[in-house]
Structure 1
């Protein structure tokens, strides 16, 4: 039954999937029976990740989903943009951080570092220019 439902969604309702990819991904990500739908959603995001990353939902996605996306080789977006949205995600995920970085202290930066620590190895910093990195 799971196979049939996944096939039906992918073949007949793919525009609905596109509109609700974040909700679907959150719902099926850890369900092994829904691997086909999960992979379809991940592939869809990877083809054009900017709409997903720039959405209001992105800072709230589960770290497991973000980790899975950043591990992929087919994420079609510049590394500096990934880094920028990862920082925004980290700020949202770190309790007590406000958006105004000018008011941050050393503890705030350490808290953000702790939140982002597992993601740092997934960023290809060699693909980011010094100027871009400094500006972000």
Structure 2
């Protein structure tokens, strides 16, 4: 019998112990009203498999007249997820292929809560290797999850790389409209962003429209209140758009229609820069890495079209 078969037999026996109530000495309450489930388990196994549970158990004084110790887990862990985790604690195996990606994220969070670092590492590796497409489509969830927990270093690295190298995938994700403002700012202020500046501006506008459903698609049909709302929405983002790296044509067709949402001083300086070939902004930002931005400040083709 090879080592693998021996381990499989050991795993099977330990799972049989989990399913046998005769020697259980602890009950674990999981969930919140009205969905609560109580699991039976063995302190010795929990103590050696989870440092979190070891800390919890070390604070409990067991009385002789109590046949079972009772503990309650944080409400963040769902009963159906803890059942999966508990089988892993006993059997040492977990086939992630059996679960959808969202459940795997829930298992990851629960494993972190229970200080099962080897399982946390295993799940992160599985996600990056097998669920990359799903994570791109649900980037906000992955980003928020990974940075809420300091132990999700592999997911954090995945998010950072995607922001720098493939931002288009984030902007095209299913949940882009719900992207937190702080995350959007983090993306657009990145010097290594692999996008032209006009693409950055278009996506900032797209996000702004998503936060204000019901806006006309054409800014010429905006009301004064519409412009005010959009200006307030994008107030924190606009300083990180590198307008000076646009071409004159891009500035005229894509920025001028939204001039009312820009700070007045910025808009006037942009006009001066694009209308006067001899005018140069003092602190013109550098083009982003990998882009070919080049402002047509010397072009006169579109200058006569710009209206104040």
Normalised-by-shorter TM-score class: 0.7 to 0.9
Larger radius of gyration: 2
- CA-based RMSD of the aligned residues comes to 2.3
Q: Taking CA–CA contacts closer than 8 Å with sequence separation of 6 or more, which of the two structures ends up with the larger relative contact order?
A: 1
> Any gaps of 5 or more consecutive residues in structure 1?
none
1:23 is matched with 138
| TM-score after normalising by structure 1 | 0.79
Q: Tell me the distance in 2 between the aligned counterparts of 1:38 and 1:63.
A: 18
1:72 aligns with 2:187: no
| TM-score after normalising by structure 2 | 0.39
Q: Tell me the distance in 1 between the aligned counterparts of 2:229 and 2:133.
A: 34
Alignment of 1:1-136 (within 5 A): 1=117, 2-10=120-128, 12-13=129-130, 16-29=131-144, 30-33=147-150, 34-94=152-212, 96-136=214-254
State the number of aligned residues: 133
> Any gaps of 5 or more consecutive residues in structure 2?
1-116, 255-308
Whose helix proportion is higher, 1 or 2? Answer: 1
Whose strand proportion is higher, 1 or 2? Answer: 2
Q: Is the 8 A contact 1:25 1:41 kept in 2?
A: no
Q: Is the 8 A contact 1:52 1:58 kept in 2?
A: yes
